[in-house]
Chain A
């Protein structure tokens, strides 16, 4: 079995366990202020990091290419309260167009 399958199955089972655990844990544990703060901030830090990595890295190198402009387009659309699909498709179209023109 490939590493990819192992990772996919492990992540899937872990996801179920996480969801199930929420119903079992005595509420005092997760309501502790610091535990609650870490769990609230974790998705924010991870998504911030994922945006950066997916936008500006290529392997071990930091790069600025068509993705950077595309994420700029996405940010403008988010400010304008565009729906998720519109944001994602516009970003893809912007990057594809820039690359077709030979940049990035």
Chain B
């Protein structure tokens, strides 16, 4: 938000603040459209791997958190409903952290209090964080949250309708699409040697336990890698870098 910083530095703050707010609303719209588009791949995967149209759409309308929805569908593909819910819930833990960071700028009570919770996802938190004033942070949260919600639901419906007519997901490469989607969601998080080591270790744990655990559980066993690594007495350096 270079322009935001520059205009905030201008003496005439009456015009400067709305400028940044307008700008961040536009950013929120683009983020919403870009994110919404890959709702197509979610919807198609969901119905091609065995969810019906309504189940796919309940996840988009009520659960709404891309990573959790892909995880749910991925584990359902492996055949374990409870495992799917657990994987989805574990991936959603980060949304609690966003709420913590956002609680300072967003309204508390009434229907807006419920709406802010429902729209607390990666994209709205990130857009909000790019705002340099509380007003811009608020505007960014609502713009990205609302537009992601609208486009994500529209495009997952389109994808789900298409997915229903796919009788063999494998022939269309949809199973590989799911694997690639997970990799693409993981990619931006691999910013340090530590995170790469954890991703690789978790992949190994999942593969090693696949022959011995019921399907769905290897992913949860791998989650223990994060718990162990996180609780391990840490070198103070990484703590300081976090925020």
Contacts and interface: CB of A to CB of B under 8 A. Distances in A.
Interface of A: 3-16, 18-23, 25, 27, 30-31, 33-34, 36-57, 59-62, 66-67, 70-71, 73-75, 78, 83-85, 87-97, 99-100
How would you classify the secondary structure of chain A's contact residues: helix, strand, loop or mixed?
A: helix
Contacts of A31: 100
Contact of B223 (A49, A55, A73, A78): A49
A22 B120 contact: yes
Among A7, A14, A15, A37, residue most surrounded by chain B Cβ atoms (within 10 Å): A15
B172 to A, nearest CB: 5
Given A16-B62, A39-B94, A48-B186, A7 B81 contact: yes
Nearest to B51: A4
Interface of B: 34, 37-38, 40-41, 50-51, 55, 58-59, 62-65, 67-68, 70-72, 74-78, 81-82, 84-85, 87-100, 102-103, 106, 108, 113-114, 116-118, 120, 170-187, 189-190, 195, 198-207, 210-212, 215, 218-219, 221-227, 229-231, 234, 238-239, 242
The listed residue with most A CB atoms (<10 A of its CB), out of B179, B199, B226, is: B179
Nearest to A3: B81
Contacts of A89: 41, 177
A44 B34 CA distance: 22
B179 A54 contact: yes
Contact of B202 (A44, A90, A92): A44
A94 B173 contact: yes
Nearest to A83: B34
A41 B85 contact: no
Which 6 A-B pairs rank lowest in CB-CB distance, beginning with the nearest?
A: A22-B99, A38-B230, A91-B180, A48-B199, A49-B222, A95-B173
